[in-house]
A = this chain, B = another copy of it.
Amino acid sequence: MKAFSSKHLLDRKESVQMAVTIHDVAREAGVGIGTVSRVVNNSPRVKPETRERVLAAIDKLQYRPDPIARSMISKRTNSLGIIVPFFTRPFSMEVLCGVEAVSARLGRELVLYNVETDAQRDRYFSELPMHRKVDGLLIVSLSPDDTVSRRFRDAELPVVLIDAYSPMFTSLVVNNVDGAYQAVKHLIEKGHRRIGFINGLIEGNFKFNQANDRLIGLHRAFGEAGLPFEPELALTSEWSRIGGKRAALQLLSQPKRPTALFAASDMQAVGVLGAAKELGIAVPDQLSVIGFDGIEVSELLELSTVQQPLQEMGEVGAAALVELIDNPAQTPELIRFDTRLIERHTTGPVPSSTHDPEAQALRESEAPPRLVVSGSTGPIPEE
């Protein structure tokens, strides 16, 4: 009769799937819960035959330890959080893709915190440290200020920054000034002298600033070639396709329009392409266009660009974070990635028809530019 009632109990568990706990397993195997726990956690201190019995019970009851109860004790959730602005943007996607890959490979769950407004960002920045729903945080393209950084550190929540910088956390950054330099130099080498620049908006007032770095890179290339920087040829717009298009429309409507355009992001460059098409300007015959990022669409559109190793940064970032979680006592590291110029079919030699003698003379009469480049932005130490 004892067996009978026990069977009934079993039935209840199985049919209603009322979570089977460690106690059920212990009872089934005729051991204490401590032993079951030891078996589950692969403790060596358990006699092989006992282990067998417990394993059998676990298998029979289909027991799975409750992760929540586990977290309660261990203070570990086995999941990673990622704060990323506009995760849907190709740029973010590439990073996310790399992050997901190693996160999954390392057996971590990934929880996505998408931010599209300052309020959202601030909310995540202030709440996440306390929540403890993730073991660590990846932050993409957002540089937390000192107050926030301290909050993360005080909460002892491991943080790794991707495409962002803070001296307090391991940061993965790309050499933006060199990337922009390469892009502009490429244009100059193609013979372009009248080069337009569409920069991205500075989002938030953070110290780490991709947009400014790219401007600096441009200045560097200009300076090297003895080209003047003409402010009316530099515009700033949203980091999006329509932003790029709007800026391009304006730039290309000027009487002496540029023969080449450098956009601070591929999506903006795509917008430029759209604008050129609308204006009946042939690319690359009448206009060269180069972007920045190296996202997938740039390949589709045969767009010349400066590629960032976005996926790789995601992978390295996730790996670094897990490493940091397992071994919290590490000093922050600054990891730099290099960009790579990819010449495709939107950049070519200057159109001969644009050899405007007047402009030429004008340009030559000007004094060589004495640009004061203010060094890299913010606190990123030079190598």
Q: Name A residues whose Cβ lies closer than 8 Å to a Cβ of B.
A: 15, 17, 19, 62, 64, 66-69, 71-72, 77, 79, 87-88, 93, 96-97, 100, 104, 109-114, 120, 127, 130-133, 154-156, 241, 270, 297, 300-301
Contact yes or no, A112 B100, CB < 8 A: yes
Question: Contacts A17-B155, A67-B133 given: A111-B297 contact, CB under 8 Å?
Answer: no
Contact yes or no, B109 A114, CB < 8 A: no
Contact yes or no, B156 A17, CB < 8 A: yes
Contact yes or no, A130 B71, CB < 8 A: no
Contact yes or no, A111 B300, CB < 8 A: no
How far apart are A116's CB and chain B's nearest CB, in angstroms?
9
Q: Within 8 Å CB of A67, what residues of B?
A: 131-133
How far apart are A63's CB and chain B's nearest CB, in angstroms?
9
Contact yes or no, B114 A111, CB < 8 A: no
Q: Within 8 Å CB of A96, what residues of B?
A: 88
Given contacts A69-B72, A87-B100, 17 further A-B contacts (CB under 8 A): A15-B154, A17-B154, A64-B131, A66-B132, A67-B131, A67-B132, A67-B133, A68-B68, A68-B132, A72-B72, A79-B133, A93-B93, A100-B112, A110-B111, A110-B112, A111-B112, A297-B297
Q: Within 8 Å CB of A17, what residues of B?
A: 154-156
Q: Within 8 Å CB of A71, what residues of B?
A: 68
Q: Within 8 Å CB of A120, what residues of B?
A: 104
User: In the bound complex, how far is the Cα of B96 from the Cα of A228, in angstroms?
Assistant: 46
Contact yes or no, A300 B64, CB < 8 A: no
Contact yes or no, B300 A270, CB < 8 A: yes
Partner of A68, one of B64, B72, B155, B297: B72
How far apart are A87's CB and chain B's nearest CB, in angstroms?
7
User: In the bound complex, how far is the Cα of B297 from the Cα of A88, in angstroms?
Assistant: 13
User: In the bound complex, how far is the Cα of B13 from the Cα of A155, in angstroms?
Assistant: 11
Q: Within 8 Å CB of A270, what residues of B?
A: 300
Contact yes or no, A133 B109, CB < 8 A: yes
Q: Within 8 Å CB of A72, what residues of B?
A: 68-69, 72
Q: Within 8 Å CB of A154, what residues of B?
A: 15, 17
User: In the bound complex, how far is the Cα of B109 from the Cα of A132, in angstroms?
Assistant: 13
How far apart are A338's CB and chain B's nearest CB, in angstroms?
24
**5 CB < 8 A contacts A-B:** A67-B133, A88-B97, A109-B111, A109-B133, A270-B300
Q: Within 8 Å CB of A79, what residues of B?
A: 111, 133
Q: Within 8 Å CB of A156, what residues of B?
A: 17
Residue of B nearest to A113 (CB): B109
Q: Within 8 Å CB of A301, what residues of B?
A: 300
How far apart are A102's CB and chain B's nearest CB, in angstroms?
12
Residue of B nearest to A78 (CB): B133
User: In the bound complex, how far is the Cα of B96 from the Cα of A15, in angstroms?
Assistant: 34
User: In the bound complex, how far is the Cα of B156 from the Cα of A300, in angstroms?
Assistant: 45
User: In the bound complex, how far is the Cα of B132 from the Cα of A19, in angstroms?
Assistant: 10
Contact yes or no, A68 B104, CB < 8 A: no
User: In the bound complex, how far is the Cα of B131 from the Cα of A131, in angstroms?
Assistant: 20
Residue of B nearest to A69 (CB): B72
Q: Within 8 Å CB of A155, what residues of B?
A: 17
How far apart are A74's CB and chain B's nearest CB, in angstroms?
10
Residue of B nearest to A64 (CB): B130
Residue of B nearest to A129 (CB): B17
